[in-house]
Amino acid sequence: MDLSFSIITILLISGLVVGFINTLAGGGSAISLTVFMALGLPVHIANGTNRIAILMQNMSSTATFSRKGMLDWRGGIRLAIPAIVGAVAGAQIAATIDEHIFQICLAVVMGSVLVFTLLGDRLLHRSGTSVHRFRPLHYAVFFLVGIYCGYIFVGTGYIVLLTTMGMLHMGIVRSNVIKNFIILLAIPFSLLVFIVNGEVNWTYGLVHGAGNMVGAFLASHYAIGWGVKFLRWFMVVVVLFCLADVLGLISIREFVLSIIH
């Protein structure tokens, strides 16, 4: 499909929305993949192309968090190492991805996060413990997170949030910061696997990624300071929106196609 003005507009605007959503919570990649597939990309190429935008948005958000002194470099790197190994393994098997399996995984992740966000009041409001006291179980869990990140990615942000808040007892703001950093370090390795396999559309990925960077900048520069209550209910709204699409109650794909045609 040619890169018309309408397609460029869709890629940029959807990228901005996705970058904003992913920086504050996660699940925005469900929109990215749906847009890519609506524009004619097969699911495995859409999966690979999405990594470009993810890399670009996390570069933007992490740079902002770092300048504000919010980033725990040491803890993030230690958690990212097993995630990187897992991401490479997950990307190696991603060529066999089935769209039905993708939908099931997404629904399970989103549903779990929704329940956790609504019921985990005490956990969400904890100020956090030291992220340096990691145990072998933590590294094993982040290796598994990395596999999912490399394989499908959609919902990885939520999984990292659940893990850091649930296992490491971090507050939601701190978890968001370290989430973006871990994904930034892990995603290039899975992207490289997709590049080697010829499963990346660079044109769509870079245009969409430009929008992602703007959305990530806005979220990390302004919205991240709006407090725990805002982030919590923002997550709930986003999860409900993504679940509605997965369950067929709304259709992002049909909306995109209606604009193009």
pLDDT at position 85 is 96
- State how many domains the chain has: 1
Would you state the pLDDT for residue 120? 57
| Gap between the Cα atoms of 154 and 172, Å rounded | 19
pLDDT at 30: 79
- What DSSP letter does each residue of 174-212 carry, written as one string? HHHHHHHHHHHHHHHHHHHHHHHTT---HHHHHHHHHHH
Q: Could you please report the per-residue DSSP string of 225-244?
A: GG-HHHHHHHHHHHHHHHHH
Given this model, what pLDDT does residue 122 score? 52
**What is the structure's pLDDT at 114?**
75
So what's the pLDDT on residue 228?
64
Instruction: Give the pLDDT confidence score for residue 127 in this predicted structure.
Output: 47
* Neighbour-count burial for 212-227, b at 16+ CB within 10 Å, e otherwise: bbbbbbbbbbeebeee
DSSP single-letter state for residue 95: G
Q: CA 82 → CA 105, 141, 146, 149, 183, distances in Å?
A: 21, 9, 7, 12, 12
Please tell me the predicted confidence (pLDDT) of residue 128: 46
pLDDT value at residue 101: 78
Q: Specify the pTM.
A: 0.81
- The mean pLDDT values, 10 residues at a time, for the chain of 261 residues are 84 92 79 86 90 94 91 91 95 78 74 71 48 81 94 84 83 86 95 93 96 91 74 76 80 77 69
The whole domain housing 57 covers 5-260
pLDDT value of residue 107: 77
